[in-house]
């Protein structure tokens, strides 16, 4: 039995990111950059106005006061998207709109709310306050300089980051390919949801939960038909999944029972088992192996164990395959609403509910076959062996949705 960290390290050591692909930014949400991107342009590309108003020379109005206002001659107009209308001479100003290029000669803009225009003198603008040089001016390159780093390799393409890239004129990026994750469930007792449940059977739930977690980890899940507890059928199912997918995830049949065929079937189709059993609860029986550059995650059958081991061990692997830099799950700090303790012989990942106010509660029974607590839980708390924490303890919650 190995520690969770040792298991994670061994898995990640076995993985190279999949080859990167060129992809348009409009299709790149949630992918990971394969290489850093530098800005091909200055942003903003030119000095421009931050407001609707009048562009002028600050020196012309350096002595303006309410008692002694200064009148400027209106000499032109410039709007966003057009080239600036010539040059603002001394004693003159130009009408300007937000985002429009600053005309030559001008070095400041006064907001239109701060000037007076006499209806009888439409060509004159009256300023009664000092305007500082560069007031309401956005300078070329003040946001981003040409060649500055926009995003690093391994960074996720979020809505915000995609907006930044598009703003710098980047239409196509190199990003890691999404891995195909094949999902198999083994067990003679399993019945597809949506059918009548024969006696002695249970509804199969792991492929659905695991495919959702795989999708959240950026993979493309592929759900395979149920696999009976039979060596030959298990080998056939594994063979097909390994042909079609980058990663194969099985649930059930990985324990020590006579009906647990996954490890043997995997070995018989040429797979190399790397390790088996990890010192965590839920989820001790967990098998990891490799076959021709592809990976097997053999998860325990109990639903909580299956989803927790996937989250802790398969999720980082799927992210690494995509070239992601951050492989840890997002964590939030919260405060225990009640005591949390656990008597067991392994480090425990406790199903919890973290509410919007930062309170953390146990999600209920922590038995690994119970679906109710898992259905409620939005996070996991990593509890060392023998830990007992009183209400009010600050805890890190690994968020799994």
Q: Which residues bind ligand AMP (CB under 6 A)?
A: 185, 187, 189-190, 202, 204-206, 251-253, 255, 257, 300-303, 369
302 interface partner picked from ligand AMP, Mg ion, none, CB below 5 to 8 A per type: ligand AMP
Neighbours of 314 (CB within 10 A): 24
- In sequence order, the 6+-apart residues with CB closer than 8 A to the CB of 126 are 69, 70, 71, 72, 115, 116, 117, 118
Which position among 187, 218, 298, 379 is part of the footprint of Mg ion (CB under 5 A)?
A: 187
- CA distances (Å), origin 253, targets 77, 117, 256, 277, 305: 76, 83, 8, 13, 13
Cα 210–Cα 211–Cα 217 angle in degrees, nearest 5: 90
Q: Which two structure tokens, joined as six digits, stand for 165?
A: 């890239």
202 interface partner picked from ligand AMP, Mg ion, none, CB below 5 to 8 A per type: ligand AMP
- CA distances (Å), origin 62, targets 14, 33, 57, 132, 279: 68, 50, 9, 8, 74
**Strand pairing of 48-49 and 70-78?**
unpaired
11 interface partner picked from Mg ion, ligand AMP, none, CB below 5 to 8 A per type: none
Give the burial class of 90: count Cβ atoms within 10 A of its Cβ; 0-12 exposed, 13-18 middle, 19 or more buried. Answer: exposed
3-state SS assignment for residue 244: helix
Q: Give least dist CB 367 to ligand AMP, A.
A: 11
Q: Give least dist CB 245 to ligand AMP, A.
A: 18
How many chain residues are in contact with Mg ion, going by CB under 5 A? 4
Which position among 17, 182, 252, 316 is part of the footprint of Mg ion (CB under 5 A)?
A: 252
C-alpha 56: how far from chain center: 45
Q: Does 182 bind Mg ion (CB under 5 A)?
A: no
Q: Give least dist CB 314 to Mg ion, A.
A: 19
Q: Give least dist CB 165 to ligand AMP, A.
A: 41
Q: Give least dist CB 250 to ligand AMP, A.
A: 9
Residue 263 or 294 with smaller CB distance to Mg ion: 263
Nearest residue relative to ligand AMP (C-beta):
301
Q: Which of 89, 128, 124 is nearest to 107 (CA)?
A: 89
Question: Considering only 54-62, 67-75, 126-134, 184-192, which stretch makes contact with Mg ion by CB under 5 A?
Answer: 184-192
Q: Which two structure tokens, joined as six digits, stand for 18?
A: 């999949």
Q: Give least dist CB 190 to ligand AMP, A.
A: 5
Question: Considering only 50-58, 171-179, 180-188, 311-319, which stretch makes contact with Mg ion by CB under 5 A?
Answer: 180-188
Q: Give least dist CB 253 to Mg ion, A.
A: 5
Residue 39 or 251 with smaller CB distance to ligand AMP: 251
Residue 187 or 221 with smaller CB distance to ligand AMP: 187
Question: Considering only 240-248, 251-259, 269-277, 387-395, which stretch makes contact with Mg ion by CB under 5 A?
Answer: 251-259
Residues in the chain: 401
248 interface partner picked from ligand AMP, Mg ion, none, CB below 5 to 8 A per type: none
Neighbours of 356 (CB within 10 A): 5
For residue 359, the 8-state DSSP code is E
Q: Which of 116, 131, 5, 118 is nearest to 56 (CA)?
A: 131
75 interface partner picked from Mg ion, ligand AMP, none, CB below 5 to 8 A per type: none
Tokens 């977690």 belong to residue:
213
Helix (H) or strand (E) holding 172: strand 172-176
User: Which x/- pattern over 297-316 shows residues binding Mg ion (rule: CB under 5 A)?
Assistant: ----x---------------
Residue 42 or 204 with smaller CB distance to ligand AMP: 204
Contacts with Mg ion, residue ranges (CB under 5 A): 187, 252-253, 301
């Amino acid at each position: 039995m190995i520690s969770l960290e040792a298991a994670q390290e061994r898995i990640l050591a076995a993985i190279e990111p999949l080859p990167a692909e060129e992809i348009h930014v409009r299709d790149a949400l949630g992918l990971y950059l394969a290489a850093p991107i530098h800005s091909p342009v200055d942003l903003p590309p030119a000095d421009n106005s931050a407001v609707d108003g009048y562009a002028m020379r600050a020196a012309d109005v350096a002595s303006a006061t309410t008692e002694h206002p200064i009148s400027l001659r209106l000499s032109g107009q410039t709007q966003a998207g057009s080239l600036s209308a010539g040059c603002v001479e001394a004693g003159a100003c130009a009408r300007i709109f937000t985002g429009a290029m600053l005309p030559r000669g001008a070095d400041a803009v006064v907001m239109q709310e701060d000037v007076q225009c006499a209806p009888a003198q439409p060509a004159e603008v009256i300023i009664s306050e000092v305007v500082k040089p560069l007031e309401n001016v956005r300078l070329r390159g003040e946001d981003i300089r040409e060649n500055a780093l926009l995003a690093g390799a391994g960074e996720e393409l979020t809505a915000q980051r995609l907006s930044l890239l598009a703003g710098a004129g980047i239409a196509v990026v190199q990003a890691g390919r999404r891995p195909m994750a094949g999902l198999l469930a083994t067990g003679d007792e399993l019945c597809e949801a949506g059918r009548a449940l024969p006696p002695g059977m249970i509804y199969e739930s792991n492929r659905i939960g695991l495919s959702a977690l795989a999708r959240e980890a950026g993979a493309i899940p592929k759900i395979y038909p149920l696999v009976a507890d039979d060596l030959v059928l298990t080998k056939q199912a594994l063979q097909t999944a390994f042909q079609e997918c980058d990663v194969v995830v099985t649930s059930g049949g990985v324990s020590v029972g006579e009906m647990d065929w996954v490890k043997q079937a995997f070995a018989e189709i040429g797979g190399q088992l790397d390790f088996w059993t990890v010192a965590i609860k839920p989820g001790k029986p967990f098998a990891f192996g490799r076959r021709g550059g592809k990976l097997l995650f053999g998860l325990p059958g109990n639903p909580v164990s299956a989803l927790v081991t996937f989250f802790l061990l398969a999720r980082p692997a799927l992210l690494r395959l995509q070239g992601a830099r951050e492989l840890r799950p997002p964590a939030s700090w919260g405060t225990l609403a009640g005591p949390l303790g656990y008597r067991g012989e392994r480090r425990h990942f406790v199903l919890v509910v973290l509410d919007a106010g930062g309170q953390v509660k146990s999600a209920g029974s922590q038995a690994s076959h119970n679906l109710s607590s898992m259905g409620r839980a939005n996070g996991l708390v990593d509890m060392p062996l023998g830990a007992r924490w009183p209400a009010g303890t600050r805890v890190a919650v690994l968020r799994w949705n």
